[in-house]
Amino acid sequence: MADVRTDPESILEAHGRTFHGFTLGVKIFCAHLAVIMTFLITAFATPAGWIWGLIAAIIVAAAAIYALTHGLNHSTEEASLHPNAHV
């Protein structure tokens, strides 16, 4: 049995898991940032007020939640972990 630390296949799988987790974290961070920026800009940089800013932020949050649960949480790195699996 090969050593887990030096086996190329296990290193590739570990890299894929790490990359997928990192990219998913970045996507979630960007979604949070979009919601916060929408609220702050609408509430304080326009005459709309904080109530309309809150409504706009809720709409952006709903769109981000939908995007993150319907495809944006997928990583293309998963398909490249086992390149010969679909042959």
Supply φ then ψ for residue 70, to 5 degrees.
Answer: -125, 55
Residue 39 placed within a domain: yes
Residue 66 placed within a domain: yes
DSSP letter string over the chain? ---TTT-HHHHHHHHHHHHHHHHHHHHHHHHHHHHHHHHHHHHHSSTT-HHHHHHHHHHHHHHHHHHHHTTTT--TTTTTSSTTTT-
- The residue among 86 and 82 whose pLDDT is bigger is 82
**Structural domain range at position 41:** 27-73
Average pLDDT on 15-34 reads: 90
What's the total number of domains in the chain? 1
Average pLDDT, rounded, for the chain: 83
Residue 81 placed within a domain: no
- The residue among 30 and 71 whose pLDDT is bigger is 30
Residue 50 placed within a domain: yes
